[in-house]
Amino acid sequence: MRDRAQDASAELEAWVGAFGHTIGIALEQAIVAVTSRLPAGDIVGVGVATDADATSIVALANSRQNLDRMIAEEPQFAVDSTWHLGEWDMDVTQVDADDPLAPVRAEADRVKRLITSPGDGRAPSQHLGEFRAALWDAIAHALAQSATHGFFDRWPSAKRVFLPLDADVSEERIAAWNTPFNRPEDLGELREFLQLD
């Protein structure tokens, strides 16, 4: 007979499997929405960030004007300004239209609450760790799928980033998430940003 911990893990795995396609569509719609205010050539970064518990999922973009200003002010931090989503100037919550990620955030929050309180005697933090890892992996997989079918090609100057902000995640893991949907010529700079080289 399965115990409650196994049930919670199985439920999480089933949810991610079913929700993965929905996440991919919503991420693409949100990235298009956040970049729609500027010509594609003026977008120098597109990406997705989450908070530390993974449920606040936001699409962001960086304008050439913002990047140029930051580099002019602090040229020694040019790589950070280029790659760190926290420095970017546009996010999907600022768009006048409905945020395509709002239902995704609501669903992720619902599942997080369900997964972190299964009554199996394990600490909620153990389940939260599993939940965060599964959702982050699903986001990274969805972005890689988008790259495979050419979604990011419409922004030829844009760096592509997925970053959990303020989360205790290793730089190696962040690099592993980001590598499949990035251009080979950008990977060296990405690794420099992550301080891996």
Output Rg (C-alpha) for the chain, integer angstroms.
17
**159-164/90-91 β-pairing:** unpaired
pLDDT of 2 reads: 46
Q: Please name the helix (run of DSSP H) or strand (run of DSSP E) that holds residue 63, with its range, or none.
A: strand 57-63
Domain layout of the chain by residue ranges: 4-192
Band of pLDDT at residue 122, cut at 50, 70 and 90: low
- Condensed to tens digits (0 to 9), the pLDDT of residues 81-111 reads 999 999 999 997 777 678 899 999 998 888 8
Give the confidence band of 121 by pLDDT, cuts at 50, 70, 90: low
Helices (H), 36-123: 64-73, 78-83, 102-115
User: Among positive and negative, which fits the CA dihedral 35, 162, 140, 135?
Assistant: negative
Give the model's pLDDT for residue 130.
85
pLDDT digits (tens, 9 = 90+) for 125-137: 677 888 888 899 9
Judged against a pLDDT cut of 60, whether residue 31 lies above it is answered with: yes
pTM greater than the 0.85 cutoff: yes
The tokens describing 49, both together, are 């960030």
Above 60 in pLDDT, residue 124? no
